[in-house]
Each structure stands twice: as C-alpha cells, then as structure tokens.
Structure 1
C-alpha cells in the first residue's frame, strides 16, 4: 500500500474513532434476569461494591492509532479511503501483526495509574472483533505471542496484565469478542465480508460453524484455565446469538440480520467457564437472560435509577483504543458521571487505550491522577454504597451505606466555589452531624421550608463536595 494511502487511512481512523461512539452504541437490555447460583450472586454483590473500573482496549489498531477492529468491516457508517480496494485494506490491516512489537509493555504502569484514580476492577481486551489474540492461544497464530513480540519474556500479554492488576487489588475481567473476523470459520474467504455477521449460511455449512463454536469455546477455556483467578467474563459482539433472541433492540443497531442462528452454545461455555472459575460473573452483552449477569449501556447513562446490576462503559477520550492527540474528558466530567451513575445504581467502566509501545500516554496518567485526587478524599460516598429511593435533587445526588443507616449527599460543582449547599428530601436527623468528607469537618446546618442548608468552610473544591449524615426516617 502506498504511503499516502496509509496516511489517509490513519486520518480517517481518527475521524471514525469518534463516529463509532455515535453509531455503534450498545444500549442496555430491556429485561434483566437475576442469577440463581449463590457463588455468582456473592461475587456480583462484591462487584457492586467496586463502582469504578478500567476497560483496556489494546491490539493491532494501536499501531496506526485507529478505531478498534471496525475498519475491516464493511458497513455504511465506516469511512475508508475510496481509492483502496477492500481486500488490499484488509491485507494491510492484518499485516499490522508483523509490526506490533510493544517493547515498552508496562502493565504495572497501567495498574498503578488505575489504582491512583480509585478504580477497583479491570476488564482487559483479550481479543477484539479483528480476532487478534492478546494472549498465547493454541488455536491460532494470529496473536501477540506469535509475531515480533514472540521473543519477549512477556509475550503472553494477558497473563502479565492480569497479574499487575491483581497485585493492586483489582477484580479481574476478561473481555472476549464472540465474533472473530480473522477466522476462516467466521469470515470465510470463499465469500465477501458484507458486514459484521458471519458471511456464509450456517444451515448449509454446519461443519464450518461447528468448528467456529469449538474454536471459540477452546479459546475461552484457555482464558478460564490458564490465567489465574478471573472474576468476570465480558463477552462482546451481541449479534452473535441465537436467532430466537433477536429482537427490536438488535434490529435497531442497523446491521443486517442473517436468516440463520449464530448460536455458539452459551450453556456449554458457561458450564465450562464456571467449572474453572466458580462464581464467575458472565456478561453476554445485550443477550437477555441468565448469562447477562449485569447490563452494559455504552457511552451513556440511563435516564432513571435501575434496581439491578449495571455499568456504563465510557471512553476517557474519543476512542476506545489509542488515538494520537485524543481529546480526553476532564477529571471533573468523569467524576460527575461517576457520581450520577452510582446514585442511579450502576458502576462506571472507563475506557483506556495504551499506545502501541505498551505504555499509557502521559495525558492519560495525568487525568487518572486528577480523578484520584477526588476519589481518595470522597470515596466513602461512592464505594460500597447502594441506591436510595430519593436519589437526586438538582445538582445533588444521594447514596447510602449498605446497612441503610448512613447517607451521603454529593453536590456537583458547576461553576465557582460555593459557600452553602441546599437540598430537598433526605434531610439530616435532628441533632446529627453533617460531615464534609474531603476534610472530615463538622458543618453547621439548618432546615427551612423542607430544605436543608449546609454552611461550608472556605474551600477550593472545584469538582464535587460530599457529605455524610444520618437521615430522618421516612
């Protein structure tokens, strides 16, 4: 491919990295089915205490700094250089596997930056839709462990990522894409690849699909058996599902739905995975039922409070993976989203993209440290909390301790520093102390006309103020 074509593709990649946020958003499901396994329920309860996690997208797409995987898919929302033949583009993209050599790979830096931000759980992309494995799989040579990085002692990337985050006390989640666009069992070269779905009629080629199911189950089995304790199996690519589960929600994604069922036998996968990892949380995104143990609205926050487990997965920058000169959210914006999400009953999974050399960009580390300056002082109002029925009043959001005795009010600062905070509902119990979490100061307050007015000491807080108190019994 000519250099000018590569550069143009690179620039297009930046453009549609942000476009992907608008076009390929996964909404939360319309139905939730709670798990019945006591071990899964206990782990889910533990996960609900964490509230703030990191999802890491890292793969071939980091080399040119473009959208993760999607550029090799032919759908209307994806914009490629029109002078490049599609097959040539795919050949160039697959060829990035010969250039991906992250000699500065530093998962300890990632984990420490996440811990500094106040994050408590990890979801690492072991394989995205392009099929490039970020672990040492026996099922394919298309992996980080088989290319130029193969002589590095840390070639089994997932192993060292999981270890680094475990060492910092994180719950561990393995992201895994159900579709695999590099596999001849999913995208068969006999036919064109029209869209994200498999490109051959499974009903006419049952052997090929059976091989894909075996391939998928074997790779998930490797992750569940060879990489230590795994808490979450986070399955993406919700169009790979039994045909009978396709509903209006799936149709709204805009991709054509094949006439056959892309069923990979989730009951068998779940049984195998939970035999190796008892109590494993499974997140079969958007496929309603017993294998979607929590829901994952993407790049948005539900309008109302939800009383079942869920997380909003959002990017820190414009793309999920590394994009040069990305525009990152401020610490204030991230904290405000975190507070709203937690008050509505969810967790925030923030997307981070390491560079192709294996390090986090300096700007990312800086943003995470800034977020941590707030969470380190005010975490009691976030971690280990649960929802309260009256959860919002103007710029103030409410959470409560799991014992139901303590309550927290978190006031989001929109402008300049303020001298007084007032809210309606969730009034402090007569005689109780209202404490400012950031400084542990006891504050004076009064109730007037059904509102509480809390007087503030001089402070320079610019993000949010959190208060603890014992509420009146409703």
Structure 2
C-alpha cells in the first residue's frame, strides 16, 4: 500500500508536535544507589563524560516521520482520517522492504560526535515498532533480513558500536521493552488499542511468557555478541510490574492496564551483567535497583540533583530524521550543557541519520560548531562535579573533583556586557581569574561581596569560561 507524499509530510509535521509533547518523561522522584562495586565504578566514570549522543535510526527514517509512534492507536496521535488504521500499519510494517541504507557510514557519525566533544553513545538497537537494527535470531523483522541483507555491514549495531569505540566513546545500547510488531505483545487476535500489550496477561500466561523469553533473548544477544557494552538503556517505561505504577506514572496520562507487564528485570540484569560486568542499567522511570541513572526528557531539572542523571534532548524537533527539521543553534545547546553540568547531570543529545545511512549536513555543521566551544572549554565540563554556589544570573559554576579549582561559565547573548560580575564563588585573595580559552589573566575586585571584572578581549560569542582557586583553599 502506498500513502500520498502529502500525507507523509502531514504525519511528519503533526506527529512531531504530538509525540514529543505526550511521551515526555519527567525526572523521577526516587533514586536507589547501586550496591555492586563494579557498577559504582563505571557510574562514577560515566559521570565524568557529561556529553553523549543518542541516535534514533529505524524504519521511520525511510518516509522521515516520527519514530514508531504513528502506528500507536491513542487519541493524541493524528493521522489522515481517510486512511484505515490497519492499512496504515501494513504500510508502515512494509517499509522494511524499502530500508536499504547503502551509504551507511557509522564512522561519519562517530567523527561528528567526537568533533562535538561527545564522550558516550546510546544507539537505538530496537524502538517500539520492533524493527531490530541488529542481526537478531529471534525475529526476521530486522535490518539484516531486508534489502540490506547482502551488505557486509548488515549487522548495523556491530558497526555502529565499533566505530564509536574507535573514538573512545562509552557504548550504550538503547532497547525498547515493548515490541509492537511481536505477536507476543500486540496479538493480531485483538485490536491494538494503545501502547500497552493488547491482551489480558492473566488469561494468556503462555503468550506473555513467550514475550518475556523473546525480550530476554534479544537483550542477551546484544550483551553477548557485540563486544563491550557500558550502558543498557531501556525505554518504554509502561512495561513494568503493576505494583511499581505510582502517581508519577499516572501523571503521564498514558493508559494503565489491569495486569502486570513484568518482564523479570532481576533475570535480565543478572544475565546482562554476567556478560558485561559493571553494566549500567537504565530502566527508565522504573525506580529501584535497575535505574542506575535517571533520564528527564526534553527538560532540565529546576535545581541540582544529588544522584546521577542526564537530560535527553533532541538537536532538532524530532528524535529521528525528518526533512526540513529545525535544529537548535550551537549556542543554545552549549548553554543547556553548561546548566545541566552545573546541576550535576549530563546531556544526551539526539540526532537521526537519514534513510541512506548518513547524517544530514546541517547536523554535522551544528556538531562542529558545538565542538568549537567544547574543545577550548572542556576542562570546565568533563570530569567536574557540582559546587554549592552553582548559579548566579548568567553565570554557572562547576569544580574539579579535588575541589582545588572552580570554573565560572558566563553565558553570552547578542548584547555583550562591558563587565562580568557574580555573587558567591569568591576567588582566593591575590590570585588571578584565568580565561580558559586563551589563558588570559584577568584582574578582579570584590565589591560588597560581589566579584567584578572587565569583559576580556575575546572573539568568543557563546560562553566565557574562567578558572580560579576558591577563597576557601
């Protein structure tokens, strides 16, 4: 079945707005520190990285529409009312016969990430639509079984992970717990009413047990066949034990079934860590021992958080590739990165390759622009920790892990000030403040408890970073 090009464009525009708005996940309200020393060690290392790339790439790249969500039957998702729902799903599933990324270039992606100053990767091995971006033996619905099957790089995840490892990235595997293509999750016997599995698990325990095995086996493939993995990033937080559904979950506005969608996370974690010791588990929004860091989506918490977290945000308006997407200016991304790090988090920035397997030129350009700043100012970002006085006006503060150096980052806008000043974070008397990008020494003065100094000579237009020894040392 073919859908008109105008309809595809309509779906692309409308579903970006609706999907991004409805499925945004807030930061969780509870956190449980891991007890495994190997996990703690890797989590500490991850907290040094600060800036990562999340890549959404799948069937949805072919028509350039919002990832997976257009096939979900919920009232916030808009589609052309002249197209029957089942016909639309058949068209979407049929995209696997057209997905042939003959220009697949993970080395380009990894270089672009490194150029931006990114340090860790989260790659979408399978989104909610169930289309696997790795050579799974559990299903024929994968990139390795369609037109790309004869390509030597058909096992896409392997080559993505390898390319980013060569650039010294930590490696994360995104995996969707729900699988809308699987008959063990969306059973054709019934309509697919919403994002949840569409049959009563209590009445069909065999089918759900088959889904649990299917899920566990796919995650096992990723953990055992793709080299060293640092992070297992699990999405689809509605697949969870019913007992864990709380007011936070209810606030999403998503439907809640009367049965438990429990996939046995203790077994998944134990098996995964047997293959990958110290693995960081990110069972998003499901609090407890399998949510080693938390992931507020498309937002930044209002204040510092005293546990590991990252803000996952898109560079453009969508997670995956859509034509004519509007990408954030480099200055906006850097400003968000600075605020996030000063509040104790990391930024996971989302980009989407095109259907041919390459990143859009505009994405590469934006990442290069971001990298111009991180390459000169990275000491104030990577390997830092929070300070008590972390924010004053346009100024944000981080510190070295030993506490001997404070970094002050002054965000700039079009109207450059003649003077920079801030309250708190006082330098040690008699020392200079150093502009990080060019090692320029800046004289300062303290007036009524506030630091003042002239705007230094620089061509920097995004943010100025200063280092100094704090007064208390």
Q: Match for residue 159 of structure 2? A: 160
Q: Match for residue 205 of structure 1? A: 204
Q: Match for residue 176 of structure 1? A: 175
3-state SS of paired residue (1:397): strand
3-state SS of paired residue (1:356): coil
Find the aligned partners of 2:415 and 2:250 in 1 and give their Cα distance: 45
Q: Match for residue 118 of structure 1? A: 117
3-state SS of paired residue (2:158): helix
1:76 paired to 2:75 = yes
Q: Deviations over 1:98-133 (max 9, x none)?
A: 000000000000000000000000000000000000
Q: Deviations over 1:331-390 (max 9, x none)?
A: 000000000000000000000000000000000000000000000000000000000111
Q: Match for residue 34 of structure 2? A: 35
Q: Match for residue 466 of structure 1? A: 465
Tell me how far 1:3 sits from its aligned partner: 4.3
3-state SS of paired residue (2:387): coil
Gaps of 5+ in 1: none
Q: Match for residue 275 of structure 1? A: 274
Find the aligned partners of 2:41 and 2:359 in 1 and give their Cα distance: 33
Tell me how far 1:20 sits from its aligned partner: 1.9
Q: Match for residue 44 of structure 1? A: 43
Gaps of 5+ in 2: none
Q: TM-score, normalised by structure 2?
A: 0.99
Tell me how far 1:459 sits from its aligned partner: 1.8
3-state SS of paired residue (2:281): strand
Q: Match for residue 14 of structure 1? A: 13
Aligned residues: 473
Find the aligned partners of 1:442 and 1:64 in 2 and give their Cα distance: 53
Find the aligned partners of 1:117 and 1:433 in 2 and give their Cα distance: 30
Alpha carbons 1:14, 1:65 under 8 Å: kept? no
Matches within 5 A, 1:299-318: 299-318=298-317
Alpha carbons 2:132, 2:141 under 8 Å: kept? yes
Find the aligned partners of 2:349 and 2:246 in 1 and give their Cα distance: 28
3-state SS of paired residue (2:467): strand
Find the aligned partners of 2:45 and 2:418 in 1 and give their Cα distance: 37
Q: Deviations over 1:69-114 (max 9, x none)?
A: 0000011110011001110000000000000000000000000000
Alpha carbons 2:2, 2:91 under 8 Å: kept? no
Matches within 5 A, 1:61-460: 61-460=60-459
Q: Deviations over 1:135-187 (max 9, x none)?
A: 00000000000000000000000000000000001000000000000000000
| Closer/same/farther in 2, CA of residues 124 and 2 from structure 1, 3 Å limit | closer
**How well do the aligned residues superpose, as a CA RMSD in angstroms?**
0.9
3-state SS of paired residue (2:13): helix
Tell me how far 1:322 sits from its aligned partner: 0.1
Q: Match for residue 23 of structure 2? A: 24
Q: Deviations over 1:234-271 (max 9, x none)?
A: 00000000000001111111121111000000000000
Return 436-445 or 345-354, whichever deviates more.
436-445
Find the aligned partners of 2:381 and 2:366 in 1 and give their Cα distance: 19
